[in-house]
A and B are shown apart, each in its own frame.
Chain A
Amino acid sequence: MKTGYRILLSLNAGAPASLVEQALEALWPGMAEELVGLFIEDSEIFEMARLPVAREIRRDGGRPRPPDAASMEREFRQQAARLREIFERRARHLARRCAFRVARSSPAMLLREASEEFDVLLLADSPERPEYHWAIRRQLALLIQAGPRMIVIARPAQPFARRIAVLCDGSEAGQAALRTAQELAAGRDLELLLLLPPGGEAPPSGPGEENWRVRRLPGLEATSISGLLRAEGAAFLVLPRRIAAAQPAVIAELVDRAPCSVILSG
């Protein structure tokens, strides 16, 4: 089981505290050598706040009104403090080194820089919070192209989840994804579920791998894959970066619909 990853947990404005827990749950024991939480204060928000014509539309209702920079500053401070407390309480049990940073910049730029520094980018998704999910989706498109080696989009696990699903097409990227899936399965004592796309071949199984479960996909279609993941009780879906980069729309759709956490690996 591979350990010693340097992991960045990215948190945007408006992230509820439960997302921190949800994200850290996706890590397997011993995975993190270093764990850094990064609260991103989107600098564009403050630029926008200086523009009287801009309007903020709040989730809790009320007339749209010009953004109040001071109020946003305060809110960022409070959110950051809240998330820091939860992060530090959990993270020290998960990694030898941990830190929480607050940065004000463009999220895209920050994440691109982080890709060079970290092995794993951890994003916590909340499909029930439309603005948050929307922000993740926006970032994902950038990250698929230029993100770190592994991107984890953490979601709440479905009940009785017991498998790690991996899309395995026999390519080198597919092999890397399989290795990642194997590490995750071993770390969590879950079974492995191989999803073979059309034309794909199952890799030869070695000792202890006889229990792999194999399903052949009729096609790369998000709805049917999601259904299969649900039926098989998948806790994670591991996708090769190569496929994600080649079919971003499918992957985006899959990220929307998958009933489990999604890992882009390789």
Chain B
Amino acid sequence: MGQDRALSALEFGARIQAAGFNLYVLGNTGRQRHLITGEFLRKEAQGRPTPGDWVYVNNFDDPRKPRGLSLPAGIGARLRRDAARLIEELRSAVPAAFESETYRNRLAEIEQELNERNKRFMEGIENEARERGLGLMPTPHGFALAPVRDGKILSQEDFEALPEAERQRIENDIEELSNRLRQHFENLPAWHKEQRDRIRELDESVARQAIGTLIDAMRERYREHPAILDYLEAVREDLVSHAQELRAGGQPTPMPPGMQPDPAQIFARYQVNLMISHKDGSGAPVVYESNPTYQNLIGRVEHLSQFGSLVTDFTMIRPGALHLANGGYLILDADKVLLQPFAWDALKRAARNGEIRIESVAEFLSLIAAEGLEPDPAPLDVKIVLIGDRLLYYLLCEADPEFPQLFKVAVDFEDRIPRADENLPLYAEMLASIVHREQLAHFSSGAIARVIEESSRISGDSAKLSTDLQRITDLMSEADFLARQRQAARVEAEDVEAAVRQRNYRLDRLRETTHEAIQRNIVHVQTEGLAVGQVNGLSVLQIGEFAFGQPSRITATVRVGDGKLIDIEREAQLGGAIHSKGVMILGSFLGARYSRDLPLSFAASLVFEQSYGGVDGDSASVAELIALLSAIAELPVRQSLAITGSIDQHGKVQAIGGVNYKIEGFFDVCDARGLSGEQGVLIPADNVDHLMLRADVVEAISAGRFHVYPLTEFDEALALMTGLPAGRRGADGEFPVGSANRAIESALQRLAMRRQRFGKTEKRRARKNGDAGGPPA
């Protein structure tokens, strides 16, 4: 309703496939944009293809870099189930293979072979030693050879008593047998290695046979998925290469008590980490991430603390919102993304590169030294929908050059919709849906009408309705509360009215304070009689969501000068640029109307009396001009009227903002003092359609106790404020006698003549001083 532009942009942005066409949804704060955007995208997503599954599996060549597999929808979940089943079967099949009699016999043969070789050698050496009269005995570190006789070691004396030849023979024999024994010890490691190699080959062969059937069966199930087939082959080879660990139950090396690894872990490496799973035919996902931290967006790698270290593996990778929304739509609150460290950069990086790369912030900031994972990045195909306010959107456009490249679709929700006949029933339906959603009591037609009135007031335009659903919902909830307080069965218009009043009352403290100051004449505001060079201007104060109007006394002073118009607010650096511009425009108007033939010969100053905060905007320029002209011509002007309106160089009165608050602000001051029937407010005619005044103000106006005067031209204000006809310049170039303009022009002429006379006098004095050798004038 009334959001055609936004909906058309949503539709375009949601459907276009080209890169960079992500969306930014602008508009009022509140949930309306979320509700509409979410509802639209969910409908859109139903018709879109279901994205595939994404899994991580172990990279057996480099476990630090887990492999990502992109699979059709539903296959990921199936693969995970099948992998779990495979692991269960392997847990029993592999140990059973290594427990078989065939395997144990073959293993024993291999082990026995080495023992036999050893034994044969030792027996041979021993026999040979015995034959040569030598004894072989074990020592702490090996063996020793020595001559023996009758089974006993020969003593040194006995040995030396032997003939030289015999001694030499013994020495030679000992040397020869020692060298052979040494050679044997040197060969042992090679023999052991050979034995280990043969055992390993045996183990691999047994493992290959045990797992072959299981893997082949699984390959058959996934024969149409080459990525899975590749992976299963890698599993097969890895299982075979770890056959000895499997044989030993996953404990290849002895560990201290309490540090035994869980035997189940040996098979954990064959698990499948199912990151994203979709049911085939479920359509594209729509994900709203309410807490868009860096990790919540791109995913994380978790760690376990084990024996004082942080450990992780591919099974501990967790998906982020980008994964969950991949292939569909991701909705985020822009301000929340920007507030989270690194989140905005990560989001842009993912969108720019078209992939989700999981990186730990702590690692790339070198905050931790633990080795982390570098999983394969997941290809990204998602439509990012940021929801935020307008100011943020414009700031991003201005300050972040990447933003316009990545978020090319602005979805601009209207703050207001026309209060047209075709919209009112729809609006009422929308209000009814709020009643239903918030489970409020039934609203009478009067209550609905009052809400609609308030909606127009919130929009600041009688021809518009507000689309700030949050505020409307709050109002209706408050009205519902008040109705229940009086135990009514339904909400009436009076409840809505009371809700409005009570809300204003809760927020009204500052307005009451300023009005009290006015009533007590601490802040001077005249609301009756006449004054020269003084006019009631009107301003709006906005504090949070509450705004109110108040009168401001604007004064002007004039003296002979060179046409300079001093804006005291600007001089004191309290005036904003737009206010200064307004003052300059009224200066131009003055010049154009009154000083075509003679120079402006006054110096004037304008100020907002008793205003100590900043002043901006040009909505007081009509009031300022009245004050100035009143001061120039010394024409008294009515204090019972306040003025708001902006003027152009040609004297046309232009629309301003906050017209309702301004009127009500002056009304409240006058009403507190007692309405005289003379009081009122001059407003631009272009603002008449915006009037949505309070009921008491409307009533006072209807009764003639207060007035609102629309202005099109400045002269209308001049006439009302001075009580004189404004006057038009005649064919003779003169304003009519008795007109306000005539008085003003005459005053300006007098000022010009005075200035001229002053100028001649000064020249004479200067010449005189110069002839007398005195100081120049």
Could you list which residues of chain A lie within 8 angstroms of chain B, going by C-beta atoms?
12-14, 42, 44-45, 47-64, 67, 72, 75-76, 79, 127, 130-135, 158-160, 226-227, 230-231, 256-257, 259
Are A56 and B144 in contact, with the CB atoms below 8 A? yes
* C-alpha spacing A56/B188, complex, angstroms: 17
Are A57 and B142 in contact, with the CB atoms below 8 A? yes
Write out the residue numbers on chain B whose beta carbons fall within 8 Å of the beta carbon of A51.
146-147, 153-156, 159
Are B108 and A55 in contact, with the CB atoms below 8 A? no
Are A59 and B185 in contact, with the CB atoms below 8 A? yes
Are B144 and A76 in contact, with the CB atoms below 8 A? no
* C-alpha spacing A45/B122, complex, angstroms: 18
* C-alpha spacing A247/B147, complex, angstroms: 31
Asked whether any CB of chain A lies closer than 8 Å to the CB of B105, the reply is yes
Are B159 and A53 in contact, with the CB atoms below 8 A? yes
A13, A48, A227, A230: which contacts B140 (Cβ < 8 A)? Answer: A13
Write out the residue numbers on chain B whose beta carbons fall within 8 Å of the beta carbon of A227.
105, 108
Question: 7 A-B pairs, CB-CB below 8 angstroms?
Answer: A47-B153, A54-B146, A59-B141, A75-B140, A131-B138, A131-B143, A158-B104
* C-alpha spacing A208/B54, complex, angstroms: 60
Are A48 and B159 in contact, with the CB atoms below 8 A? no
Write out the residue numbers on chain B whose beta carbons fall within 8 Å of the beta carbon of A47.
146, 153, 155
* C-alpha spacing A230/B178, complex, angstroms: 37
CB distance from B137 to the nearest CB of A (A): 6
Write out the residue numbers on chain B whose beta carbons fall within 8 Å of the beta carbon of A57.
142-145, 178, 181-182, 185
Q: Which of B111-119, B525-533, B673-681 contacts A (4 or more CB under 8 A)?
A: B111-119
Nearest chain B residue, comparing its CB with the CB of A43: B153
Are A53 and B139 in contact, with the CB atoms below 8 A? no
* C-alpha spacing A56/B137, complex, angstroms: 9
A13, A56, A135, A230: which contacts B108 (Cβ < 8 A)? Answer: A230
Q: Which of B60-68, B168-176, B314-322, B445-453 contacts A (4 or more CB under 8 A)?
A: B168-176
* C-alpha spacing A57/B153, complex, angstroms: 17
Write out the residue numbers on chain A whose beta carbons fall within 8 Å of the beta carbon of B147.
51, 53-54
**Assuming A57-B185, A130-B122, A256-B119, is B139 touching A45 (CB within 8 A)?**
yes
- Scan B654-685; emit 1 where CB is below 8 A from any A CB, else 0: 00000000000000000000000000000000
**Assuming A61-B185, A231-B101, A256-B119, is B139 touching A54 (CB within 8 A)?**
no
Nearest chain A residue, comparing its CB with the CB of B104: A230
Write out the residue numbers on chain A whose beta carbons fall within 8 Å of the beta carbon of B104.
158, 230-231
Best-buried of B108, B137, B167 by chain A (most CB within 10 Å): B137
* C-alpha spacing A226/B178, complex, angstroms: 34
Known: A58-B185, A130-B122. 8 other contacts (CB 8 A): A45-B144, A48-B135, A51-B146, A51-B159, A62-B182, A63-B182, A231-B105, A259-B108
Are B144 and A67 in contact, with the CB atoms below 8 A? yes
Nearest chain A residue, comparing its CB with the CB of B111: A127
* C-alpha spacing A144/B167, complex, angstroms: 37
CB distance from B435 to the nearest CB of A (A): 74
**Assuming A52-B156, A57-B144, A226-B108, is B101 touching A14 (CB within 8 A)?**
no
* C-alpha spacing A62/B99, complex, angstroms: 41
Asked whether any CB of chain A lies closer than 8 Å to the CB of B150, the reply is no
Nearest chain B residue, comparing its CB with the CB of A60: B141
Nearest chain A residue, comparing its CB with the CB of B189: A61
Write out the residue numbers on chain B whose beta carbons fall within 8 Å of the beta carbon of A158.
104
* C-alpha spacing A153/B231, complex, angstroms: 49
Number of A-B contacts (CB under 8 A): 131
Nearest chain A residue, comparing its CB with the CB of B174: A55
* C-alpha spacing A63/B137, complex, angstroms: 18
Nearest chain A residue, comparing its CB with the CB of B186: A61
Q: Please give me the 6 A-B residue pairs with the lowest Cβ-Cβ distance, nearest first.
A: A64-B178, A54-B146, A48-B146, A75-B140, A58-B142, A130-B118
Could you list which residues of chain B lie within 8 angstroms of chain A, going by C-beta atoms?
99, 101, 104-105, 108, 112, 115, 118-119, 122, 126, 135, 137-147, 152-156, 159, 167, 170-171, 174-175, 178-179, 181-182, 185-186, 188
Are A64 and B175 in contact, with the CB atoms below 8 A? yes
Are A42 and B182 in contact, with the CB atoms below 8 A? no
Are B182 and A56 in contact, with the CB atoms below 8 A? no
Are A230 and B105 in contact, with the CB atoms below 8 A? yes
* C-alpha spacing A40/B167, complex, angstroms: 31
B115, B126, B144, B179: which contacts A48 (Cβ < 8 A)? Answer: B144
B101, B115, B138: which contacts A135 (Cβ < 8 A)? Answer: B138
Write out the residue numbers on chain B whose beta carbons fall within 8 Å of the beta carbon of A52.
156
Write out the residue numbers on chain A whose beta carbons fall within 8 Å of the beta carbon of B115.
127, 133, 256
Best-buried of A47, A48, A50, A132 by chain B (most CB within 10 Å): A48
Are A58 and B108 in contact, with the CB atoms below 8 A? no
CB distance from A131 to the nearest CB of B (A): 5
Write out the residue numbers on chain A whose beta carbons fall within 8 Å of the beta carbon of B152.
44
Are A50 and B101 in contact, with the CB atoms below 8 A? no
Write out the residue numbers on chain B whose beta carbons fall within 8 Å of the beta carbon of A59.
141-142, 185
* C-alpha spacing A47/B158, complex, angstroms: 13
Write out the residue numbers on chain A whose beta carbons fall within 8 Å of the beta carbon of B155.
47, 50-51
B99, B126, B142, B170: which contacts A159 (Cβ < 8 A)? Answer: B99
Write out the residue numbers on chain B whose beta carbons fall within 8 Å of the beta carbon of A257.
112
* C-alpha spacing A44/B152, complex, angstroms: 8
Are B139 and A56 in contact, with the CB atoms below 8 A? yes
Are B105 and A160 in contact, with the CB atoms below 8 A? no
* C-alpha spacing A259/B140, complex, angstroms: 26
Write out the residue numbers on chain A whose beta carbons fall within 8 Å of the beta carbon of B126.
134
Are B145 and A55 in contact, with the CB atoms below 8 A? yes
Nearest chain A residue, comparing its CB with the CB of B112: A257
Are A55 and B99 in contact, with the CB atoms below 8 A? no
Are B139 and A50 in contact, with the CB atoms below 8 A? no
Are A53 and B179 in contact, with the CB atoms below 8 A? no
Write out the residue numbers on chain A whose beta carbons fall within 8 Å of the beta carbon of B181.
57, 64
B101, B143, B171: which contacts A230 (Cβ < 8 A)? Answer: B101
* C-alpha spacing A158/B152, complex, angstroms: 39
Best-buried of B140, B145, B170 by chain A (most CB within 10 Å): B140
* C-alpha spacing A127/B119, complex, angstroms: 10
Write out the residue numbers on chain B whose beta carbons fall within 8 Å of the beta carbon of A226.
108
* C-alpha spacing A231/B101, complex, angstroms: 5
CB distance from A88 to the nearest CB of B (A): 20
**Assuming A53-B147, A55-B178, is B153 touching A14 (CB within 8 A)?**
no
CB distance from A252 to the nearest CB of B (A): 10
Write out the residue numbers on chain B whose beta carbons fall within 8 Å of the beta carbon of A231.
101, 104-105
Write out the residue numbers on chain B whose beta carbons fall within 8 Å of the beta carbon of A56.
139, 141-144
* C-alpha spacing A240/B209, complex, angstroms: 42
**Assuming A63-B182, A134-B122, is B174 touching A53 (CB within 8 A)?**
yes
Are B171 and A53 in contact, with the CB atoms below 8 A? yes
* C-alpha spacing A45/B145, complex, angstroms: 10
* C-alpha spacing A6/B100, complex, angstroms: 39
Are B138 and A42 in contact, with the CB atoms below 8 A? yes
B108, B139, B154, B171: which contacts A67 (Cβ < 8 A)? Answer: B139
Write out the residue numbers on chain A whose beta carbons fall within 8 Å of the beta carbon of B170.
53
Are B141 and A14 in contact, with the CB atoms below 8 A? yes
* C-alpha spacing A104/B61, complex, angstroms: 57
Write out the residue numbers on chain B whose beta carbons fall within 8 Å of the beta carbon of A48.
135, 137, 144, 146, 153
* C-alpha spacing A48/B148, complex, angstroms: 9
* C-alpha spacing A223/B182, complex, angstroms: 30
Nearest chain B residue, comparing its CB with the CB of A226: B108
Are A45 and B137 in contact, with the CB atoms below 8 A? yes
Nearest chain A residue, comparing its CB with the CB of B147: A53
CB distance from A162 to the nearest CB of B (A): 12
Best-buried of A12, A56, A227 by chain B (most CB within 10 Å): A56
* C-alpha spacing A95/B182, complex, angstroms: 42
Best-buried of A14, A55, A57 by chain B (most CB within 10 Å): A57
CB distance from A234 to the nearest CB of B (A): 12
* C-alpha spacing A114/B159, complex, angstroms: 33
CB distance from A89 to the nearest CB of B (A): 15
CB distance from B89 to the nearest CB of A (A): 20
CB distance from A165 to the nearest CB of B (A): 15
* C-alpha spacing A265/B153, complex, angstroms: 34
CB distance from B456 to the nearest CB of A (A): 87
Write out the residue numbers on chain B whose beta carbons fall within 8 Å of the beta carbon of A62.
182
* C-alpha spacing A55/B138, complex, angstroms: 12
